[in-house]
Amino acid sequence: MGRLEDLAVQYANAARWELNQALTRIVCLDEEGMLHDKDLGRIAYAYQRLSWWRQVTDLTHGREEPVGGATALLTVRQRAHALLLHARPVTNGGLFAQAMEESRRGGARAFLDATEKLAEALAFPSDHDTLPAAPGTPATATD
């Protein structure tokens, strides 16, 4: 498993942890009688974030022919873009349906933001002491 696949698993685990925290919170708040709609929204949002990362890990660790991390991320990013581009306003179903659709869009947006940051982090060298050469000047080992 490569670095990208490892990072995707870490992001999926972080999303799982966030969902677990939201579920734990709702149990405590329900017992105290302090449960609010924003707490339910937090669960829906965390679940949607997890579902996007689960799609990536399903592709990289699939039962069928697994694909590389970059291919998996690009495939799922395309799905998230499609959801955001083709999402229609919810006109039927009331507030619950609207809230669930909003959590789907929010989860897709969070996934796209995270994968963009992931791509930026992988594009730059991990050694911050190495400075890039000045424009027009080739970098050499003695610089």
Q: Compute the distance between CA of residue 65 and CA of residue 60 in angstroms, rounded to an integer.
A: 9
Give CA 96 to chain center in angstroms.
Answer: 23
Q: Per-residue pLDDT for the chain (143 aa), expressed as one digit of tens each?
A: 677 788 888 889 999 999 999 888 888 877 777 877 788 888 889 999 999 999 999 999 887 788 888 888 999 999 999 999 987 777 776 777 788 888 899 999 999 999 988 877 677 655 444 444 444 444 444 44
DSSP label at 105? Answer: H
Q: Compute the distance between CA of residue 139 and CA of residue 143 in angstroms, rounded to an integer.
A: 7
Q: Which tokens sit at 48?
A: 């949607």
Reported as a single tens digit per residue, the pLDDT across 79-112 is: 999 999 987 777 776 777 788 888 899 999 999 9
Q: Which tokens sit at 106?
A: 């929010």
Report domain extents, the chain. 3-121
- Please tell me the predicted confidence (pLDDT) of residue 129: 43
